[in-house]
Amino acid sequence: MNVDISMEKKRFAKFAVVGFSGTVVDFGIFNLLSSFLGFATLPSSVVSFIVAVFNNFFWNRNWTYPESKERSFSEQFGKFGVVSVAGLIIRTLIFSAIENPLIAASRVVAPNIGITAEIIGHNLALAAVIVIVLFWNYFANKIWTYKGI
C-alpha cells in the first residue's frame, strides 16, 4: 500500500480537530450533567461520551474521511460503534480508578481557588481518559473502520 504522507498529515489534523470538537462536547455535557444538574459523575461521563461519539462519527465520516460515504453507513457506523464501546469500557475503568485519587490530590494542591476539589478532580480524570481513549480510537478506526481509505 502506497501512503501519501502529506495526505495522512492532513487527515490526522482533521481527525484532531474533530477530536477537539468531541472533547468540547464531552466536557460540556459532562459538566452540565454533573456540576449543574447534579447527576452522578460516572453516568454523566458515559452520556457525555456517547454524545461526543455521535459528534465525532458525523464529522469524521463527512469531513475527515469523506470518501468513506461510498461505503455502507450501517456497516461503518457499526464498526465505529464497536470501537467506541471498547473505548468507553477502557475509559470507564480508568476513570473509576483515578477519579477519587485526583479529587484527593486536588484538595491538597488547590484547596482554596474557588472551584471545588471534586470539580477539579472530575475534570482531571476526564481529561486523562480522553487522551488515552483518543489513541485507541484513532488507531482502531484507522485500521478497521476506515481501512483502505
Instruction: Summarize the confidence of residues 71-86 as an average pLDDT.
Output: 92
The whole-model pTM stands at 0.72
And the C-alpha cell for 62?
Answer: 463527512
Total of domains in the chain: 1
Contact assessment for residue 136 and residue 90, using Cβ atoms and an 8 Å cutoff: yes
Q: Which residues form the domain of 113?
A: 5-145
Reported as a single tens digit per residue, the pLDDT across 94-107 is 999 999 999 999 88
